[in-house]
Chains A and B, each alone.
Chain A
C-alpha cells in the first residue's frame, strides 16, 4: 500500500513509473537507478551482511544517495512490522483508492486486506 505514495510522488514530479517493479525485479521501474534501488530494497531481509547492492546503487547514483537508500530500507523494516502487528487502520476511501494497486501487487490475500474488507 505504500505504493500509493510512490505513485503520487512520481505523478507530482512528472515521472513515469512502472509500479509492478515493486513486486517483480525483472521489471524496470523507470527511475534513475531504479533497478539497483529495487535490488537493495529486496536485500533488506538478507540474513548475512552483503554490501554488493549498496555498491551497485553507489555506482549509479553515488555513495550519498546509496546511504540514504539504506536508511529508508531500514526504516521500512520498522513500518512494515508495526503496521502488520497492530492491524493499522485504513479509511474506506483510501482503501477504495488503492484497489488498483492492491490487485496489481496481489495484496488482496493478506490477512489485513481480508479484515478490512470484512469491516467495510
Chain B
C-alpha cells in the first residue's frame, strides 16, 4: 500500500498516508469506519464525475461530501448552519476531514499517474460520540458551537500538512527549500491549486 519506490518521494509521506487509511477504517467520534469509507467512495465518485451510488448514509451526508469534494467554494454561511443543524457541528467537521484527506491522497496519486489506492476494510465499532474538553465554544468561522481545537482535532487538517507542505516553523522562512523546490515555487503551486478550486483563501 502506497509503494512509491519508483519515485524520489520523501520516506515520511507513505507512512503518513497509511496512517490516514488506518484512521479512516476505524470508528471516529461521530462516524463509524464504514461511514468513513462510504464517504471516501462518494468523494471519489464526485471527483470522477460519477453519480453517487446508493449507500447507507443519510442523503444529506452524501450531498455534503460531494459538495466538499468538488464545490467547496460554493459553501455559504447559511449552508454550514443548515448542515450543523442537520448532522451536528462535530459530525460536519469530521466529514470535512475525511473528504479533504481522501481528495488530497488521491490527487497525489493521480498526479503521479497512478490509479486510486484501494480503500481499507472497515473495522467494526460505533463512533464514540464523546466531545473532548475544549471542543465546545461559541463558534469558529461559520461553524457554530465549536473551538479552533475542535476544527483541528476533527478535520485532522495538520496531519498531512506538516508532511506534504511545511511545518509552522518552516512557514516563517521565505528562503526554505526542499528537494530543489524553492519557497516561491512551493507557494506558486499552493496558490494555483487554491485558485483552481476557486477557494477564497
Which A residues fall within an 8 A CB radius of B?
A: 1-3, 5-6, 8-13, 15, 17, 19, 21-23, 29, 31-34, 37-38, 40-51, 53-54, 61-65, 67-89, 105, 107, 110-113, 115
Q: Mark B95-129, 1 if CB is under 8 A from A, else 0.
A: 01101110111011111111100000000000000
Interface residue from A2, A15, A75, A83 paired with B104 (Cβ < 8 Å):
A75
What residue in chain B is nearest A47 (Cβ atoms)?
Answer: B48
CB within 8 A of B187: which of A9, A68, A77, A115? Answer: A9
> B185's contact among A53, A64, A69, A105, by CB below 8 Å, is which?
A69
Do A82 and B113 form a contact, CB below 8 Å, given A74-B105, A77-B197? no
Contact B141 A89, beta carbon cutoff 8 Å: yes
Binds A, one of B22-30, B31-39, B55-63, B71-79: B71-79
Q: Given the known inter-chain contacts A68-B179, A83-B200, please indicate yes or no for A49 contacting B189, CB distance below 8 A.
A: no
**Once the chains are docked, how many angstroms separate the CA of A53 from the CA of B70?**
21
Contact A2 B112 (CB under 8 A): no
Q: Which of B77, B142, B185, B197 contacts A32 (CB 8 A)?
A: B185
Question: Given A13-B174, A79-B201, A65 and B141 touching (CB < 8 A)?
Answer: no
How many residues of chain B have a CB within 8 Å of chain A?
A: 74
CB distance from A32 to the nearest CB of B (A): 7
Cβ-defined contact, B99 with A81, below 8 A:
yes
Instruction: Pick from A6, A8, A13, A81: contact of B68, CB below 8 A.
Output: A81
